[in-house]
Structure 1
Amino acid sequence: MMNQDTNNKNEFSPLGERGLLVVLGGGESGVGTAILGKQKGFDVFVSDSKQIVEKYKQVLLHHEINFEENQHTENLIFRANVVMKSPGIPEKAPIVKKLLELKIPVISEIEFAGQFTNATIVGITGSNGKTTTTLLTHHILKSAGLNVGMGGNIGKSFAQLVAEESYENFVLELSSFQLDGIEKFNSHIAIITNITPDHLDRYDYDFNKYIASKFRITKNQTENDYLIYDADNEAINNWLQTNTTKATLVPFSIEKELEFGAFLKDNTLTINIQKEIFTMPLSGLTLKGKHNTKNAMAATLAAQLLKVRKDFIKESLENFEGAEHRLEFVAKINGVEFINDSKATNVNATFYALECMDNTTVWIVGGVDKGNDYTDLLPLVREKVKAIVCLGIDNEKIKDTFGSVVDIIVETLGAEEAVKVAQKLSEKGDVVLLSPACASFDLFENYEDRGRQFKNAVKNL
């Protein structure tokens, strides 16, 4: 079926003989890697332990790429020269453990694709805000006329973009899972929006392991590169005090004035990294809330480092529309606003959402708990939330945490039911906020599916 070179398993060089590339996982990352791998001369085999979604299966068939589903054929997989592991597959998975024991390189899609482009990369990671910052950075650069693509953990996979486009710049959203699989990949400009506990189930419930994963984004940076970071974030500051990076540090803060970086002064976004200071009143930003001010700071810093003119930056900040499923206004029905924040899959994201609510709130929360500690939300819930609608299979922790501060807690098992219950519990002037603080895989395909079902349910009221 394929030509395999089994004598060179420990050395993966895109410049040498290609050999066999095995792709574990037939989703966005996997299919993108398969397309790029075939284009670059590898024998490619895609293996998925589950059924491959039809749209991805059709792409593999179109490109005449060999694949299997609902199984892993180990005697074939273990002949690989290099394996790309999709980010959803944990390192603890038996197949991955065996590959590592056999000293077969297991890398991420980001690592694989990065070796086939000379484009300037802006890499963006963080527990929250990375999608909005990625979209906004791309919006600014594209508006300024740069030849720029966007992908990674959002939109098309990085690998597919490298295979099919010829961008001179990339803005990539990078999850900790994607960063775990890098060895040589580098971003000229790296952004860490913030670090708060998330995905601890994948990191042995050790926050320090998760922090270290995020900081892999600066692992290969040089003196010519930049690390933009939230100077108000405790986890980031602690890491920087005890670790080093070669990159130039570019901080942003809404709490203190900085000699170098971005900060707030007199309700004005102020940036001092070039010879001329960039300023813009907060009232001019379309994105509202403290967290979005920080996202705007990070995106503006990146744009300035890439020599984008101030007028392009200002105009882009004034007309940017924001991310779907992140504090997205859906509708106002009988005086009640419905807000879709399905992308809030951890406690800190929901903290931001509740902080932004100016009206009495009916809060839809719940899903797959990733080791959540809800206690940070108690003051906001006590102040703003009049009723909780649980949207998950196991809601015990939510009921235990908030039962003493919220009188009404109702359990539901679907978006349509949750929306109907929330409407009954709300009155004119209230807000119904879907901000789950949890993953979605108990009742939905992903957070996008959850958000879409919520929006459809609202529109059907």
Structure 2
Amino acid sequence: MKNKELFQGKNILIVGLAKSGFAAAKLLHSFGANVVVNDKQPREGNQEAEALEKLGVAVECGGHPLTLLDQPIDFIVKNPGIPYQNPLLAEASKRNLPIYTEVEIAGLISEAEIIAITGSNGKTTTTTLIGEMLKNSSKSPIVAGNIGTVFSEVASQATKEDILVAELSSFQLMGTEKFQPRISVFLNLFEAHLDYHGSLEEYGKAKAKVTENQDENDYVIYNADDLQVTELMKHSKAQHIPFSVHKQLKNGAYLKDHSLYFQNQKIIELKEIVLPGKHNLSNILAAAAAAILAGAELEQIQIVLKTFAGVKHRLQYVGEFEGRRFYNDSKATNILATNAALTAFETPVILLAGGLDRGNSFDDLIPSLKNVKILVTFGQTAEKLIEAGKQAGIETIKRADNVEDAVPAAFSLSQAGDVILLSPACASWDQYKTFEQRGDMFINSVHKL
């Protein structure tokens, strides 16, 4: 671990606990920083707050009082999910106080090289693929970030013999200033999280911070089929490594003669790849390019692509019951992800969709609903999705209270040969804490059948 001295004696306010705030507080306290933690949850029953206080960290719970800014503060570390419009953070910005996420801390202290993956969709699949492809290489891969383990916590333990493979959201990247990964990956850009960022332009700028500090010794891998991503990458100083499913690229990853290539080297024939869905070809191209640049062995890449069937909650095959196949795609939290999921099936689909209403319409989903024979909706967006289903010509549409009720409702309307797919096209936060919890509820309901 390096640069610990940068934080010694600094006055740091951490806003929001959860996993990232808790890990950052412990870490910065161990560096000798003067840490104050603020969490909106009540003090009673707050185990993280209790654990930090035992370490000697000051914790204030139950809200975000502006008086916290009256004490000396060098910078703030915020939970990624807390918007900058939060009154405390808005006031901090007025006072020109730097506001970071723990990703900034991770980048400063890590001795290991970093591969950072971002994009609107496919981050988890691509990150997992890269981690698997780098096994048995010269450096040990450690997967972290938005995919599970807190990035700064992992970075504090990593050595030069490791390589960190981190899935990073726009929320996390927005709070960085000097973050410089060795390899960055920008998968795609689609209208999402506009309630947080305000516009697609601001959302794209936040994503593009993954390459903002890279130089000519670094690599940026990006989707040449996405015009918005390509435009944003014009400002990157890193070596450009494009990937495409439509064009053959001398300096990138591409498809030719029913095979996957990287810089004119054949990697694998498409028929040998087991990961389902046409949309996953882009993820595979990006992952292979990153893995090769990071030192992965060709044989290991081939083994992964011949065996890797997907990650939990992303087009996850749950099982078959009375001729119906069930798939959990709870991580499809926007329209693009659900569009991609629907293209993965040629048989009739019964779609379970709905969730948090972010104010968007579902007009862009309508063309993909042509293969949907039955639509079951739930959550805040249920009525909007019903209207989209009607416009798509779906004859059978049913509203359920939640995912647990949607599964038996879908089954009762189905017949042998159907696919029953949870692909919500919405975030989960109206009814569930996380998309993982929503997906687990789907799996549990399928098992109850």
TM-score > 0.5, shorter chain as reference: yes
Written as runs of structure 1 = structure 2, the 5 A alignment for 1:3-18 is 15=6, 17-18=8-9
- The number of residues matched between the two structures is 443
Matched, 1:158 2:151: yes
Written as runs of structure 1 = structure 2, the 5 A alignment for 1:109-124 is 109-124=102-117
* 1:62 Cα deviation after fit: 6.1
Q: Which residue of 1 aligns with 2:62?
A: 70
Question: Is this contact kept in 2: 1:107–1:181, CA < 8 A?
Answer: yes
Question: Is this contact kept in 1: 2:145–2:168, CA < 8 A?
Answer: yes
* 1:215 Cα deviation after fit: 0.9
Going from structure 1 to structure 2, the CA distance change for 1:427 and 1:61 (only over 3 Å counts) comes to farther
Q: Which residue of 2 aligns with 1:177?
A: 171
Of 410, 417, 424, 1:422 maps to 410
Written as runs of structure 1 = structure 2, the 5 A alignment for 1:58-457 is 59-60=51-52, 63-79=55-71, 80-144=73-137, 146-166=139-159, 168-204=162-198, 206-240=199-233, 243-272=234-263, 277-382=265-370, 384-404=371-391, 405-457=393-445
Structure 2 residue identity aligned to 1:411 = R
Question: Is this contact kept in 2: 1:270–1:277, CA < 8 A?
Answer: yes
* 1:409 Cα deviation after fit: 1.6
* 1:387 Cα deviation after fit: 1.0
Structure 1 residue identity aligned to 2:103 = I
Of 26, 43, 50, 1:35 maps to 26
Structure 2 residue identity aligned to 1:279 = I
Going from structure 1 to structure 2, the CA distance change for 1:309 and 1:142 (only over 3 Å counts) comes to closer
* 1:256 Cα deviation after fit: 1.2
Question: Is this contact kept in 1: 2:112–2:155, CA < 8 A?
Answer: no
Q: TM-score, normalised by structure 1?
A: 0.91
Q: Distance in 2 between matches of 1:44 and 1:321?
A: 43
Any unmatched runs of 5+ in structure 2? Answer: none
Going from structure 1 to structure 2, the CA distance change for 1:394 and 1:312 (only over 3 Å counts) comes to closer
* 1:141 Cα deviation after fit: 1.2
Q: Distance in 1 between matches of 2:213 and 2:254?
A: 27
Alignment root-mean-square deviation, CA: 2.0
SS at match of 1:142: coil
Q: Residues 406-447 of structure 1, C-alpha deviation per residue, up to 9 Å, x if partnerless?
A: 112211122221111010111100011000000111111110
Q: Distance in 1 between matches of 2:241 and 2:410?
A: 43
Q: Which residue of 2 aligns with 1:6?
A: none
SS at match of 2:135: helix
Q: Distance in 1 between matches of 2:42 and 2:350?
A: 38
- Please identify, of 338-347 and 257-266, the stretch whose mean Cα deviation from structure 2 is larger: 257-266
* 1:374 Cα deviation after fit: 2.2
Q: Residues 182-235 of structure 1, C-alpha deviation per residue, up to 9 Å, x if partnerless?
A: 11011110000111111111122x211111111111100000011101111121
Any unmatched runs of 5+ in structure 1? Answer: 1-11
Structure 1 residue identity aligned to 2:29 = K
Question: Is this contact kept in 2: 1:278–1:310, CA < 8 A?
Answer: no
Question: Is this contact kept in 2: 1:122–1:172, CA < 8 A?
Answer: yes
Q: TM-score, normalised by structure 2?
A: 0.94
Q: Residues 8-31 of structure 1, C-alpha deviation per residue, up to 9 Å, x if partnerless?
A: xxxx99526432221111111111
* 1:373 Cα deviation after fit: 3.8
* 1:77 Cα deviation after fit: 4.4
Going from structure 1 to structure 2, the CA distance change for 1:142 and 1:46 (only over 3 Å counts) comes to farther
Matched, 1:44 2:35: yes
* 1:296 Cα deviation after fit: 1.1
Question: Is this contact kept in 2: 1:21–1:82, CA < 8 A?
Answer: yes
Q: Distance in 2 between matches of 1:119 and 1:133?
A: 20
SS at match of 2:27: helix
Of 12, 26, 34, 1:21 maps to 12
Structure 1 residue identity aligned to 2:110 = T
Question: Is this contact kept in 1: 2:276–2:309, CA < 8 A?
Answer: no
